[in-house]
Amino acid sequence: MFKKSTHRFVSLLLIIIVSSCATYYDKSRATERQLIAGNYDDAQKKIGANKFLAKKRNALLFNLEMGKVLHLQNKFEESNRYLNEADRLMEQYRNGFETAVGITVNPSLQPYIAEPHEQIMMHYYKILNYVQLGKMEDAIVEVRRLNEKEKALDIASNSNEKKYSQDPFGLMLMGLIYEADGNDNDAFIAYRNAKLSYDNDQTGLYQNNEPTSLEQALLRTANNSGIAYESKEKYDLNYAPHGELILFYESGLSPVKAEKNYFFSLSENAAGFFFQSGTIIVPVVYNFKGNNPNFNPASLGFIRLAFPYYVSRSSVQKNNSVSVNGETKTLELIEDISALAFQIEQDNFFKNLGRDLLRLTIKKIAELSLAQKNEYLGTALNIANTVTEKADTRNWQTLPSQIQFLRVPLKEGTNTIQLKTNDGKSTSFEIIGNGKMIFKNICEF
Amino acid sequence: MLALFALGLQSCFHHVSRVDPEKNIDLSGSWNDVDSRETSAAMVTQALEEDWLKNHMSAKKEKPVVIVGMINNKSHEHIDAETFMKDIEKAFIESKLVRLVQGGTKREEIRGERADQQTNSSVSTMKQWGLEVGADYMMQGSINSIVDAYKREKVVYYQIDLELTNLQTNEIVWIGDKKIKKVVKN
């Protein structure tokens, strides 16, 4: 009788395991299909109907996804309502219980924590929304908030230039908005910080990839605010009397997270305890003999670790060209979100691995000590732990893969802009040169 | 099992209770209603204790007329300047020491209504143009902030500067400030 019910229980758990293996990407395929088809309204409905996103712990993710699809529909006010809520959730006090669940049970059960580059991208969309709404004071508030995020990134990476730290794209954006607001002094400081960030970068993502317009912007804003700045190049400081177009071209879809299983064993040498899986060795700073001097690491057996990893989404690399009033211009890559995601994964790989292994070991020790007292309860806890062992595969999936950039002077009156991609698509629009900086972003998936 | 237990506990957390609007509640450390109310009360008290009011009363023998102008948000948060301006206006009226006139978009609406009366109201009830009370002083200011954050600790410092200018002479008759410092630990 007991065996029969145990059998049923195990079968049920197996069903749960199989069904719960689905990643966030698996659960949001319908949204992706609508995005690629350009049905942003339907994509919004799919996000709204996504049961996974409706969970309280995924509120931040839900607000980010909604903010982006509403932005795509030019619903700037509504988009910012969601993005402001996302911003609030990012800053919210995390209670001890939720953190404890993340540390001890499973990180995917704790409230979603945005990746560093996602925080920068949230401000990018909020700024664009406010600019489109003509709310410059609010756009400047966002720029100040972005500055706080940039400082936090620098602190989190210990100013390590080999890691993703200060994001020059964010700094460029700050400079552009300050400049559009007529604040050349703050614009210069932001541009100069961007320049330093490009120059000092050791990740290979940014060095020598600064936009060609940056040097000119530095010289112009320095000159306008009475700051001495030497440049090797000579520029016309009044090069855009009829205004400028600041164009961002967003293409493709950001990477998503999949789940990979690692099987680790715990060993001990003179230096202490370490986990090993093939060639991966992770030292553990934890005294397993603290409670039990006879602790034998081999008694843990193999520990299965479900670990998330980034996977690129097939997006066609487009060679784009823009013609402004019949003159061809080249777009420059200003933010490679795909490359950033892999960089951040690499930066934190061992840190996250160590954290997750420690979590699993603590669970395993609990299983063993319970099994010593009651075999069935030990088995039950083992099954429960197996069920809950799941990688956190959440990330902001409506982000683009790459953002390209162009700033170009406008002529007085109507300007015709035509954007051509090598897959034959062509978009054209008109902009009135009115002496101001006009911001526009185009998104294609 | 632990996960189910965790989820079960989480779902019990939703709770709503009504509180006194005057009660000080700090949740996130951001600028909130308490800051707005306390700042406006402190600033108006400061402003009304200064010499400009006595000087005006002795020279003109009547209460000064004040208009609250723009309060620029130069902070890192989206602060609704209107709530703050309303709190200042309310504190002025409650003091009974100054008279207040309408400014900004509300004034435009009033003028629109008066314009409408010129064609749609009876002559006996129609309000006339050119009889508005002109303000003697204008209050303007800004909200600034400095943030110093390290990992999960944050110190936010707000400085609210207000000044009162004589509209006739362009003379600044009063400058006041209020400083608020908050420590937020996450």
CA angle in degrees (0–180, nearest 5) for A310-A79-A257: 10
Q: Where does residue B132 rank: exposed (0-12), middle (13-18), buried (19+ CB within 10 A)? A: middle
Euclidean distance between CA atoms A400 and A15, whole angstroms: 35
Which residues of chain A lie closer than 8 angstroms to B9, CB-CB?
A: 97
Which residues of chain B lie closer than 8 angstroms to A56, CB-CB?
A: 10
**Which one of B2, B84, B155, B157 would you mutate to disrupt binding with A, by most A Cβ within 10 Å of its Cβ?**
B2
Expressed as residue numbers, the domain containing A265 is 240-445
The H or E element spanning position A8 is helix A2-20
Cα(first)–Cα(last) distance of chain A, in Å? 57
Question: A52 — alpha (psi -120 to 50), left (phi > 0) or beta?
Answer: alpha
Q: What is the pLDDT of residues A183-241, one digit of tens each?
A: 999 999 999 999 999 999 999 889 888 999 999 999 999 999 999 898 888 888 888 99
Concatenating the DSSP letter of every residue in B31-80 gives --HHHHHHHHHHHHHHHHTSHHHHHHHHHHSSPPEEEEEEEEEESSS---
Number of C-beta neighbours around residue B169 at 10 A: 8
Regions of chain B with pLDDT less than 70? 1-14, 27-28, 186
> Which DSSP symbol is given to A104?
I
Cβ contact B95:B64 at 8 Å:
no
B26 to chain A: closest CA residue: A93
Q: Which residues contact A77 (CB under 8 A, 6 or more apart)?
A: A129, A133
From the list A353, A336, A395, the residue with the least C-alpha distance to A164 is: A336
**Cross-chain residue pair A137–B73, CB shorter than 8 Å:** yes
**Cross-chain residue pair A388–B2, CB shorter than 8 Å:** yes
Mean pLDDT of chain A: 88
pLDDT at B79: 87
Q: Between the CA of residue A336 and those of A137, A163, A308, A399, A403, what are the distances in Å? A: 29, 15, 21, 11, 6
The number of folded domains in chain A is 1
Q: Does A91 touch chain B (CB under 8 A)?
A: yes
Q: How many residues does chain A have?
A: 445
Which residues of chain A lie closer than 8 angstroms to B27, CB-CB?
A: 93
Q: What is the pLDDT of residues A30-60, one digit of tens each?
A: 999 999 999 999 999 999 999 999 999 999 9
Interface predicted TM-score (ipTM): 0.75
pLDDT at B2: 46
pLDDT at A314: 67
pLDDT bucket at A9, cuts 50 / 70 / 90? low
Number of C-beta neighbours around residue B52 at 10 A: 18
Quick check: is A369 in a domain? yes
- Nearest by CB: A384 against B1, B75, B77: B1
A263 against A86, higher pLDDT: A86
A100 to chain B: closest CA residue: B6
Per DSSP, what are the bridge partners of residue B162?
A: B141, B176
Concatenating the DSSP letter of every residue in B132-181 gives PPPPSEEEEEEEEEEEEEETTEEEEEEEEEEEEEETTT--EEEEEEEEEE
Euclidean distance between CA atoms A307 and A321, whole angstroms: 40
Which residue do the tokens 């940014």 mark?
A: A206
Euclidean distance between CA atoms A403 and A333, whole angstroms: 6
pLDDT at B115: 96
Q: What is the pLDDT of residues A405-427, one digit of tens each?
A: 999 999 999 999 998 887 778 88
From the list A40, A74, A75, A46, the residue with the least C-alpha distance to A62 is: A46
Does residue A11 register a pLDDT over 80?
Answer: no
pLDDT at A5: 55
Q: Does B73 touch chain A (CB under 8 A)?
A: yes
Q: In what order do the strands lie in the sheet with A413-420?
A: A327-330, A321-324, A413-420, A426-433
Q: Which residues contact B126 (CB under 8 A, 6 or more apart)?
A: B117, B118
> Which DSSP symbol is given to A258?
E
Share of chain A above pLDDT 90, in %: 57
Per DSSP, what are the bridge partners of residue B137?
A: B66, B166
Number of C-beta neighbours around residue B183 at 10 A: 9
Q: What is the pLDDT of residues A158-176, one digit of tens each?
A: 888 889 989 999 999 999 9
Quick check: is A132 in a domain? no
Euclidean distance between CA atoms B95 and A114, whole angstroms: 48
pLDDT at A196: 93
Q: Does A13 touch chain B (CB under 8 A)?
A: no
Cβ contact B63:B97 at 8 Å:
yes
Quick check: is A100 in a domain? no
Q: Between the CA of residue A57 and those of A90, A99, A399, what are the distances in Å? A: 12, 11, 20
Euclidean distance between CA atoms A89 and A60, whole angstroms: 6
User: Which CATH number among 3.40.50.2300, 3.40.50.10610, 3.10.20.30, 3.40.30.20 corresponds to the domain B31-185?
Assistant: 3.40.50.10610
pLDDT at A7: 55
Mean per-residue pLDDT, A88-111: 77
Quick check: is A162 in a domain? no
Per DSSP, what are the bridge partners of residue B146?
A: B157
Does residue A18 register a pLDDT over 50?
Answer: no
Q: Which residues contact A173 (CB under 8 A, 6 or more apart)?
A: A123, A124, A127, A143, A146
pLDDT at B4: 46
Q: What is the pLDDT of residues A287-331, one digit of tens each?
A: 777 777 888 888 777 888 889 999 999 665 666 788 999 999 989
**Cross-chain residue pair B186–A94, CB shorter than 8 Å:** yes
pLDDT at A244: 95
**Cross-chain residue pair A137–B72, CB shorter than 8 Å:** yes
Euclidean distance between CA atoms A425 and A445, whole angstroms: 12
Q: Between the CA of residue B88 and those of B24, B41, B44, B63, B82, what are the distances in Å? A: 18, 7, 7, 17, 10
Q: What is the pLDDT of residues A335-379, one digit of tens each?
A: 999 999 999 999 999 888 888 888 888 887 788 788 878 888 888
The alpha-carbon radius of gyration of chain A (Å, integer) is: 26
Q: Token digits for B62? A: 């009547």
| Domain locations along chain B | 31-185
Please name the residue ranges forming H helices in A237-336. Answer: none
The H or E element spanning position A249 is strand A244-251
What is the value of pTM for the model shown? 0.85
- Nearest by CB: A141 against B6, B76, B150: B76
